[in-house]
């Protein structure tokens, strides 16, 4: 294994505490982490390494299941904290001085707001931290729209080559999402059924019971469309519908996803009016309304729920609706893909469906009709269920950081994928900014606004809510 240095910008932030450090620790425990040269945590706060370690002990360790105190001590022993002002080149000189110059691999993780990416890249380059040993990880959201995403991509390209840039989408590191590729690529039964001749429609839902959880300021400027649809859900959609490439390497997978994203049918204002629902949660019982959460602007119009009927212009999928939806403060937390197969025989039977449950459980089930036991020819619905839950499943951030160290970009977004996704989302953002379509409301803890049900019922379908 090659040795590596790890530099984290945004080390005192929520993501670092909840996910990044626990994942690095897990990689260390699992024996996957190469010998660490230096692990440098940076942030704006002026803290000593001891104070930072105390923060980690209080705020990060609690996110590790069955943490082994001795191993944790060993792990944190490698961490140094450095307070950095991203605008000050001299701070980057100090940073350079702290890394191990003999490392073959330097991973720099930007867990900071994208507005700071460019300055940080410029300063890293000024101190020579951009040679081929360096790989940078960029957290989402990359920009607020197509223009800002392109600006970031173009500026960063001045300092780093595309093969050094890892745009992270943690959904791509989930076991169940990675399995989707295997399921599609190595089961010929699905390959032949996976297109418009046989598929009636597809539903993709990602629901959370949580609200904005102390992230009010970020969320209010972001909203569900940017936070979940532009990245996670469009990535899931592209993995569901892309053509399976001949080789499953990074270049082929990324280019198959890109072609699929390019085939998303652009949405006119008329389409948005008919096929895109935005809504915000209102109070109910124990739950506050979104507007009453901390750090939310008065009368904010930010959406916490989105449902869209999307279509693809791709030959394989023309005419097949993809109903996608996401929401916070919903009745239940789950992520699932459901493929509804066509019923071509006129036996008055409901369609077969394949349910790919991504979370909380990793499960695939095929819904079938079977004969009721006994002296009857009546049938009932039953499920062929494959449970893929395992305690060995790796957490997404652990897997993805290890992929970066190995130089495997298969589960990271190419810049064109993100730009194409923004190009599709932009007209919706514009339409909403111009208030051309209403913001609806739903009761916190419910299944969403009535209008989202109307959207799918219009086509004589129902959302699968469990």
C-beta closer to ligand BG6: residue 38 or 357: 357
3-state secondary structure of 187: coil
Known binding residue 169? Answer is no
Q: How far is the CB of 227 from ligand BG6 (least distance, A)?
A: 5
**Is 140 one of the annotated binding-site residues?**
yes
Question: Considering the complex, what minimum distance in angstroms separates the CB of residue 442 from ligand BG6?
Answer: 17
Residue ranges in 167-196 that form contacts with ligand BG6 under rule CB under 6 A = 170
Q: Which of left, alpha, beta for 453 (phi over 0: left; psi -120 to 50: alpha)? A: alpha
Least separation, in Å, of the C-beta of 170 and ligand BG6?
A: 6
| Phi, psi angles (nearest 5°) of residue 118 | -70, -45
Per-residue contact string for residues 358-377; x = within reach of ligand BG6 by CB under 6 A: --------------------
- Contact indicator for 453, 279 with CB cutoff of 8 Å: no
| Chosen residue from 227, 303, 417, 419 binding ligand BG6 by CB under 6 A | 227
State yes or no: 163 annotated in a binding site. Answer: no
166/11 Cα distance (integer angstroms): 18
Distance CA 176, CA 358 (A): 5
Q: Which residues contact 271 (CB under 8 A, 6 or more apart)?
A: 265
DSSP structure string for 10-73:
TTTSHHIIIIIHHHHHHHHHTT-SPPEEEEEEEESS---HHHHHHHHHHHTGGGSTT--HHHHH
C-beta closer to ligand BG6: residue 232 or 353: 232
Given the residues 63, 198, 232, 414, the one annotated as active site: 232
Distance CA 291, CA 302 (A): 9
Is 208 annotated as belonging to a binding site? yes
| CB of residue 215 to ligand BG6, shortest distance in Å | 7
208 contacts ligand BG6 (rule: CB under 6 A)? yes
> Any catalytic annotation for residue 77?
no
Site size toward ligand BG6, by CB under 6 A = 3
Task: Give the nearer residue to ligand BG6 in terms of CB position, either 167 or 170.
Answer: 170
323 CB-near residues (< 8 Å, 6+ apart): 201, 202, 203, 204, 307, 308, 309, 310, 455, 456, 461, 463
Beta strands in 286-345 (DSSP E): 305-310, 322-327, 334-341
Q: Site mask, ligand BG6, residues 122-161, x = CB under 6 A?
A: ----------------------------------------
328 is known to lie in a ligand binding site: yes
For the bound state, the minimum distance from the C-beta of residue 457 to ligand BG6, rounded and expressed in Å, comes to 27
Question: Is 198 annotated in some ligand binding site?
Answer: no
The annotation places the binding site at 44, 140, 170, 174, 208, 227, 328
Catalytic positions, written as ranges? 232
Residues that bind ligand BG6 (CB under 6 A): 170, 208, 227
The annotation places the binding site for substrate at 170, 174, 208, 227, 328
The annotation places the binding site for NADP(+) at 44, 140
């Amino acid at each position: 294994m090659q040795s590596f240095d790890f530099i984290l910008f945004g080390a005192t932030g929520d993501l670092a505490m909840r996910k990044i450090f626990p994942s690095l620790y897990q990689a260390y425990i699992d024996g996957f982490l190469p010998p660490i040269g230096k692990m440098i945590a940076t942030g704006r706060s002026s803290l000593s390494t001891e104070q930072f370690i105390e923060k980690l002990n209080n705020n990060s360790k609690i996110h590790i299941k069955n943490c082994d105190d001795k191993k944790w001590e060993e792990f944190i022993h490698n961490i140094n904290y450095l307070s950095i002002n991203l605008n000050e080149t001299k701070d980057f000189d100090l940073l350079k001085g702290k890394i191990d110059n003999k490392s073959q691999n330097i991973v720099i993780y930007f867990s900071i707001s994208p507005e700071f990416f460019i300055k940080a890249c410029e300063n890293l380059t000024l101190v020579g931290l951009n040679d081929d040993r360096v790989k940078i990880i960029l957290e989402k959201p990359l920009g607020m729209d197509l223009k800002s995403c392109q600006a970031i991509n173009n500026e960063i390209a001045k300092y780093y080559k595309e093969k050094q840039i890892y745009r992270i989408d943690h959904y791509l590191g989930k076991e169940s999402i990675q399995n989707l590729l295997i399921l599609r690529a190595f089961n010929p039964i699905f390959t032949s059924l996976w297109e418009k001749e046989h598929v009636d429609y597809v539903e993709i839902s990602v629901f959370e019971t949580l609200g904005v959880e102390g992230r009010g300021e970020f969320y209010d400027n972001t909203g569900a469309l940017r936070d979940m649809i532009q990245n996670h859900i469009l990535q899931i959609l592209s993995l569901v519908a892309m053509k399976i490439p001949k080789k499953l390497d990074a270049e082929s997978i990324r280019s198959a996803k890109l072609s699929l994203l390019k085939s998303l049918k652009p949405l006119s204002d008329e389409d948005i009016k008919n096929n895109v629902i935005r809504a915000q949660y209102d109070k109910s019982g124990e739950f506050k309304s979104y507007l009453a959460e901390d750090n939310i602007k008065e009368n904010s119009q930010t959406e916490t729920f989105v449902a869209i009927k999307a279509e693809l212009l791709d030959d394989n999928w023309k005419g097949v609706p993809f109903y996608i939806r996401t929401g916070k403060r919903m009745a239940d937390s789950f992520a699932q893909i459901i493929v509804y197969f066509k019923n071509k025989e006129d036996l008055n039977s409901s369609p077969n469906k394949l349910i790919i449950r991504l979370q909380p459980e990793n499960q695939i089930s095929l819904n079938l009709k079977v004969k009721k036991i006994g002296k009857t020819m009546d049938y009932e619905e039953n499920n062929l269920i494959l449970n893929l839950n395992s305690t060995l499943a790796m957490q997404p951030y652990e897997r993805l950081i290890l992929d970066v160290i190995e130089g495997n970009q298969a589960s990271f977004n190419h810049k064109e994928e993100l730009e194409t996704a923004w190009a599709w989302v932009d007209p919706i953002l514009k339409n909403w900014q111009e208030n051309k379509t209403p913001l609806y409301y739903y009761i916190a803890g419910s299944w969403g606004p009535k209008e989202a049900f109307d959207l799918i019922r219009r086509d004589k379908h129902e959302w699968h809510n469990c």
